Structures are given as structure tokens and as C-alpha cells.
A and B are shown apart, each in its own frame.
Chain A
């Protein structure tokens, strides 16, 4: 290991170095130390992982300070004292090596303690409290239309005998509209009015814009302010199949550009929609990559041996939590949630 300020030869591996960095960062780094830290962090992905894990474990110590141990692990209660580990009135001239070694030793001990707890179905961060990736919701409406709601999206449905009105209040939704020329299907979102007869289109609404892509059929769009009533559809413009319009929230709807979207781009924009992940004799990494591609989640296979697992899968792409549960029950793989939401997979 290259020469550095860490004196304890027993802590020369990535975890040991990471633990000492955790202690140093907690009490503040000088400019020079910051540069040194960033250099070490970027030198290897192992360093990043080790640091993330040690940081998480360190923060668990705060929680454990009030925890009455029910297990046989013998931890000196004084070591759990925050003041001793991470003194806030710290003397900047104090020797880092001493504090770093103490912190590293405790953090590694607690890592082992917590790992044991994880193995026995109990952890500082339970799986239910950790990242829970919600499934995509699907609403089947009374007319046969279907709305798929991306995560955290909300809609109000207000059907009447004259029209089928849906208000997209937040997020992203995909609409598959059952054909009924006598009763137009209307989506209102942030002052924009979209009208469809029998079609499929996607609408994404965020703090900047309303983004509409048509997969099939035709969608008419206009400003809600220009809408003159059921009998009069004035100032409407038309989006055809594989066309897209992005309307800025302060933009004049009548002047926005319509763009053509190719098949590949269309697929990318609609990746969030659930599909069956259907592989035969595939390594775990391939299946994991597909889950990562289609979801706001980062599954990481930590050890090479986990990728020796080959499986046939037929699994909905948004059913991540069940996928992980079954990996644990039948494939000898354990999942651990990182503080940043990353889910690490490794052999038990």
C-alpha cells in the first residue's frame, strides 16, 4: 500500500482506510486533506464502496448509542459514546492516527455486529424502511381505457356523459384510450388540454413542462384557456403517431414545435412501463442490468461468484422487491441496502 498518514499496518485494506477517512471527514478536512481524500476515493470503485459502507456503519453508531443490546456481541458501552468517537470540540492539531485507529476498529466491529444482525433477519435499516421501489399502478376505467401511472403520479378521473375527463395532477402517465367518437377522452394538465378518440399517448408533467408523446393514433392539443366548450374545438393542433411536443409551462401552446420521434427514442422514453423480463439461461448480471435500465434503482452485484448464477426469468420489470426476496430465498444471494439507495447483492 502506498505511503500515507495511516500508521496502523493492520488497517491497510480498503475498509480500514475507508474507516479512517470516515472519522476524518466527520471532523472536517483541510483543503489539502480534501484533495487527498478525493484522490483516494476516485482511485478505485472498491474505495467508493468501502467508504459508503463505513459511513453508513458509522452513522449507525449514533443510533446504537441509545440501543440496549439483546445479543451476545460484547461492545464496550464507552465506545458507543459519540463524544469519544467523534469529539465536536476536537483539537485540530490532535493526531489523526489515534482517532482514526479507534474509529476504524469500532466501525469494523460494529460492521461485523450489524452483518450478523442482517444475517439473522434484523438490521439497523430494515428492508421495509429502506428503498422500496413501488410498482407501476394501472387504472382500468369503466369505458375500457387504461391509465398506467408512473411512480408518484396522480390523476383525477371525472367522466361525464359528454366527455371522459382525466386531470393529470402530478408525474407521468400513459393513456390507452378506448375508441368512442361520441365521448372524447380528454386529459388536462397544467393549462394544456389533450383530446383523443382512440389512441395511446404518454404525458409527463414536471415543474418545467408538459411533455406529450403519441405512440398510436392522433391527439389534439390546445390551451385550456382557448377551450370554448364541447361543441367547439378551436385552436387545436394535432400530434400524430411517433410525434412529440414539449410545452414549457409559460409557453404559448399554439407556437410550440412538434418533433418526430424515432422508434428507438420512443422506446427509451417509455422504458418505465412494465414489461416481462424474459431471459433464458442468462447470468444474473444481465437480468440485473435490465431491472436497472427500467427503474429508478441501482442494483449492484458485489462479488463475481454471484454472477455464476444463471437463471431463466419471466418477471415484470417493476417487481423489483419480489425479485430480491426470491434471490435471497432460493439463490443464496443476500441483499444489503446502502444509504444512498443502492442495493448490493452478494453471496451469503
Chain B
């Protein structure tokens, strides 16, 4: 049917901005738990997103080409965002 949402899609409306702030907004809108590395992400700008999509699509669009990485906990869907760990 036209206009039907897939079950796991959510409407997101997040402006571009400081990753530390915008990623928290993402977590609130997505209804997920989140841990954000302040030391690493302060000052990095994420992209704006607008529309209905899955949580992961939304996150990946926001952090595209920023260098930010994320891990999603398989059991609980909680997300951690940071820069890649140094070896």
C-alpha cells in the first residue's frame, strides 16, 4: 500500500552539527542506548538527515565521510560511537 512504513523504519529529523550533540539526538529519535566518545568526537560535524529510514541507515548517513565508526551491541541494540581504535 502506498505510504506504508516498514516495521523497523523511523522518521528522523536531525540537523547537521557537532557529533556529540547530534548523535545524542539520533539516539533519542531512534530509541536506542548510546555511548559517545567525547574526547574523540568533539568538533566533528555530522550530516543532517530527514526522512523515514532504519536506525542504522540514519546513523550511517549522519557519519558518512566523517571518520566516525560505530559498534552495535547485538544483544541489546545499544550503540557506541568513536573514532577507529588505535592499534
Contact = CB atoms under 8 A, between A and B. Distances in A.
Given A315-B78, A330-B82, A331-B82, A322 B38 contact: no
A309 interface: yes
B20 interface: yes
Which range contains the number of B residues in contact with the other chain? 20 to 34
A12 to B, nearest CB: 33
A319 interface: yes
A128 B71 CA distance: 20
Q: Max chain B CB contacts within 10 Å: which of A312, A327, A332?
A: A312
Interface string B13-31: 0000000100110011000
Interface string A299-329: 0000000001111111110010111011101
Contact of B37 (A311, A322, A323): A311
A326 B82 CA distance: 10
Nearest to A319: B76
Nearest to A324: B73
B78 A330 contact: no
B39 A313 contact: no
Nearest to B79: A326
Q: Max chain B CB contacts within 10 Å: which of A311, A323, A329?
A: A311
B80 A330 contact: yes
Contacts of B73: 322, 325-326
Contact of A319 (B33, B37, B69, B71): B33
A348 to B, nearest CB: 8
A323 B23 CA distance: 17
B85 A332 contact: yes
Contacts of B75: 321-322
B38 A310 contact: yes
B78 A311 contact: no
B58 interface: no
Interface string B27-61: 11000011111110000000000000000000000
Contacts of A42: none
A222 B70 CA distance: 54
A331 B71 contact: no
A281 B37 CA distance: 9
B80 A331 contact: yes
A331 B37 contact: yes
Contact of B34 (A314, A321, A331): A314
Q: Max chain B CB contacts within 10 Å: which of A310, A321, A322, A327?
A: A322
Interface string B60-87: 0000000001110101101111100110
Given A326-B80, A329-B80, 13 more contacts: A309-B39, A310-B37, A310-B39, A312-B20, A312-B23, A314-B34, A322-B75, A326-B71, A326-B78, A326-B79, A330-B71, A330-B85, A332-B86
30 contacts: A276-B33, A309-B37, A309-B39, A310-B37, A311-B37, A311-B38, A312-B20, A312-B23, A312-B24, A313-B34, A313-B35, A314-B28, A315-B34, A315-B78, A319-B76, A322-B73, A322-B78, A326-B35, A326-B71, A326-B78, A326-B79, A326-B80, A330-B35, A330-B71, A330-B80, A331-B37, A331-B80, A331-B82, A332-B85, A332-B86
Interface of A: 276, 280-281, 308-316, 319, 321-323, 325-327, 329-332
